[in-house]
Amino acid sequence: MEKPARPKVLVCLPFLTPAIGGGAFVLANLLEPLGRLGFDIQVLYFQEEARDLVPPDLTTHFIPKRTGSARFYAQYWGAARRLAGILRDERPDLILCNAYQPFWLALAARRLSGLKTPVITQEQNNLAQMFDGARWGALRLFLVRKLDPSAERIIVPAEGLARHVIELGIPEGKIARIPNPIPLERIRKLSPEPAGHPWFDSKDAPVLLNVGALEEQKDQKTLLRAFAALRAAGRDAGPPAAATARLAFVGDGPLRPALEAEAQRLGVRADVAFLGLQKNPFKFMARADAFVLSSRYEGFGLVLAEAMACGCPVVSTDCPYGPGEIVAHGDSGLLSPVRDAGALSDNVLKTLTDRALRERLVAGGLRRAEDFSSEAVAGKYAQLIRSCLRAQS
């Protein structure tokens, strides 16, 4: 059957987290570009805060996520029935999901609706590590292995993550490799705004920046130890930049009290700022002297590309998966081993003190960020969506 000229795509945003980035932002960055490429985009969201991510002219649907995941899953079938009603009423040509919860909900709703709407989902993280030790982690991983093959295609942003998903038993033919997008125009618009914080606005000392959820995955404890080592090196007749450097965290999460205590224990609490959630992290990136990602694992590490787009040199762990594919060591950033505070500190010091290296990293980062523009990535999504729709004809 011939598909309409403007295929209708229902985009299911994932649940928001304390991270500044995350899967919701990946899809949100694609909404307008996909519309310009000829798709009729509708959006399903589960939290009121997510409405701010959606352009006001798009049709939206809201199924509330109650406080606490257990309560949400207790109402799972009610939510699935509501989504099934949306599918019957709107008759989307395709459903695009990010994260396992909305994807599983879409599969259940599709079954209840009696329709055969194709579903494309994304895997954005190292699932084995994410579920390791988590409540119901083994069951969740089992369900991923069982249900992911039901998707028409599974988008992964990094080659390493693609290999990981294949190792979980997902057929390679189901996998599409498309990087995550960054909103370059929005970044360029928002990054010149004043930071509203004296460390960034006065620039009387170097400032290191970390943006993301304060959680085990991001391993900010290693970053704090690296920062303490940097300050100690500066006090021991080292470069003044090391002796006066400061560290700021943008984001929130369950480890904030522990990280504050760790900074106190290391003797650097006065030079560490916890700025909480910020609607515009780009204004901090544009004024930071180095962006540092200390993660144990990632699905991609899009925040590195965002920092690059702001002209901030990046230092990252070479964790699985993504940073090593985004960053060309020595050209667009510096990479260090996971959980190696000494190596991380050394790379930060090089970035602060080697002017030629710094200029090279900034220029290389700006060039690399162009590869992840929303427009470029949306074009790849559009090709995949149209391919799936042709297969359904």
Mean pLDDT confidence for 266-292? 98
Q: What is the spatial distance between Cα 64 and Cα 16, in angstroms, rounded to a whole number?
A: 12
pLDDT of the residue at 3: 52
Cα angle value 341/345/350 (rounded, 5°): 150
Of 194, 253, 286, whose CA–CA distance to 16 is shortest?
253
Mean pLDDT confidence for 331-358? 98
**Which residues in the chain are classed under CATH 3.40.50.2000?**
8-181+373-392, 185-372
Q: What is the spatial distance between Cα 7 and Cα 2, in angstroms, rounded to a whole number?
A: 11
Strands (E), 126-215: 153-156, 175-177, 207-211
Mean pLDDT confidence for 239-263? 96
Mean pLDDT confidence for 308-319? 99
Mean pLDDT confidence for 183-212? 96
The answer on pLDDT for 70 being more than 80 is no
Per the CB < 8 A criterion, the answer to whether 113 and 139 are in contact is: no
No. of H helices and E strands in the chain?
18, 13
How many CA atoms lie within 13 Å of 129's alpha carbon, on the beta-carbon side?
Answer: 16
Across the chain, mean pLDDT equals 93
pTM of the model: 0.91
Q: How confident is the model at residue 19 (pLDDT cuts 50, 70, 90)?
A: very low
pLDDT of the residue at 365: 99
pLDDT of the residue at 274: 99
Contacts of 172 (CB under 8 A, 6+ apart): 166
| Residue that wins the pLDDT comparison between 15 and 32 | 32
Query: CB-based burial of residue 287 (10 Å sphere; 0-12 exposed, 13-18 middle, 19+ buried)?
Result: buried
347-375: pLDDT as tens digits: 999 999 999 999 999 999 999 999 999 99
Per the CB < 8 A criterion, the answer to whether 120 and 62 are in contact is: no
Cα angle value 152/158/160 (rounded, 5°): 105
Strands (E), the chain: 8-12, 40-45, 59-62, 94-97, 119-122, 153-156, 175-177, 207-211, 246-250, 272-274, 290-293, 314-317, 334-336
User: Residue 52 has which token pair?
Assistant: 């701010």
DSSP secondary structure of 21-35: SSHHHHHHHHHHHHH
| Least confident interval from 41-45, 65-69, 290-294, 296-300 | 65-69
Mean pLDDT confidence for 88-94? 98
Of 226, 277, 220, 227, whose CA–CA distance to 247 is shortest?
227
The answer on pLDDT for 24 being more than 60 is yes
Q: What is the spatial distance between Cα 246 and Cα 2, in angstroms, rounded to a whole number?
A: 60
Q: What is the spatial distance between Cα 44 and Cα 98, in angstroms, rounded to a whole number?
A: 11
* Helix, strand, coil percentages in the chain from 3-state DSSP, rounded to 5: 50, 15, 35
| Residue that wins the pLDDT comparison between 316 and 17 | 316
Q: How confident is the model at residue 20 (pLDDT cuts 50, 70, 90)?
A: very low
Cis peptide before 321 (omega within 30 of 0): yes
Determine if residue 99 is left, alpha or beta; phi over 0 gives left, psi from -120 to 50 gives alpha, anything else beta.
left
Question: Superfamily for 185-372?
Answer: Glycogen Phosphorylase B; (3.40.50.2000)
The answer on pLDDT for 18 being more than 80 is no
Q: How many CB atoms lie within 10 A of CB 90?
A: 16
Q: What is the spatial distance between Cα 354 and Cα 333, in angstroms, rounded to a whole number?
A: 13
Quick one: fold of 8-181+373-392?
Rossmann fold (3.40.50)
DSSP secondary structure of 306-358: HHHHTT--EEEE--TTTHHHH--BTTTBEEE-TT-HHHHHHHHHHHHH-HHHH
Mean pLDDT confidence for 117-122? 97
Secondary structure letter of residue 58 according to DSSP: S
3-class secondary structure, 45: strand
Mean pLDDT confidence for 201-209? 94
Q: What percentage of the chain has pLDDT greater than the value 90?
A: 79
Q: How confident is the model at residue 252 (pLDDT cuts 50, 70, 90)?
A: very high
pLDDT of the residue at 26: 92
pLDDT of the residue at 67: 53
Positive/negative CA dihedral, 146, 149, 151, 153: positive
Q: How confident is the model at residue 128 (pLDDT cuts 50, 70, 90)?
A: confident
